Amino acid sequence: MQQRKEAHKTNSHRKLIAIENSIRESAIVQHLNELASSNPSQLASKEDMKELRELMNEVIPHFYLTINKPDNMIRMQEYDVCLLTRAHFTPVIICKLLGISLGYISNLRKRIYCKISKKQGGAKDFDAFILSIY
């Protein structure tokens, strides 16, 4: 029984690594990194964000439903912040890609966390929640 538990744990760990690698190595994430690191940085287009949504729907099919429930419908900009956070973009990079200020993104992350978890918390709580979705 213990061996089966360990085998399951190892298999689950491999799946998580595969998910993270497929996100990190995707063409859209690399493209968004290029936009943010260009001088001057460039905003993500609607098409870029659509492609990121499609990637998440493919790699983590229940991501959208975990974030967007009937009792806590979130706005598109909020969902974009969730997507970019789940793709491991820092708040500074998210600001560059969405054209919003760092202060606004911090407050937005707190509000989104409260909205989707029904708990009070900060931006770090939001990040931990979003990154835990597989």
Q: Average model confidence (pLDDT) for the chain?
A: 92
Widest CA span of the chain, in angstroms?
57
pLDDT in tens, 52-68: 999 999 999 999 999 99
pLDDT in tens, 76-119: 999 999 999 999 999 999 999 999 999 999 999 999 999 999 99
Q: Is the pLDDT of residue 15 over 90?
A: no
Domains in the chain: boundaries = 2-131
Q: Is the pLDDT of residue 5 over 80?
A: no
- The pLDDT-based confidence of 8 (bands split at 50, 70, 90) is low
d(CA 32, CA 93): 9
d(CA 26, CA 77): 22
The pLDDT value given to residue 72? 80
Residue 85, CB half-sphere, CA atoms under 13 Å: how many? 27
The rounded percent of the chain whose pLDDT value lies above 90 is 82
Q: Where are the beta strands (DSSP E) in 1-134?
A: none
d(CA 34, CA 10): 34
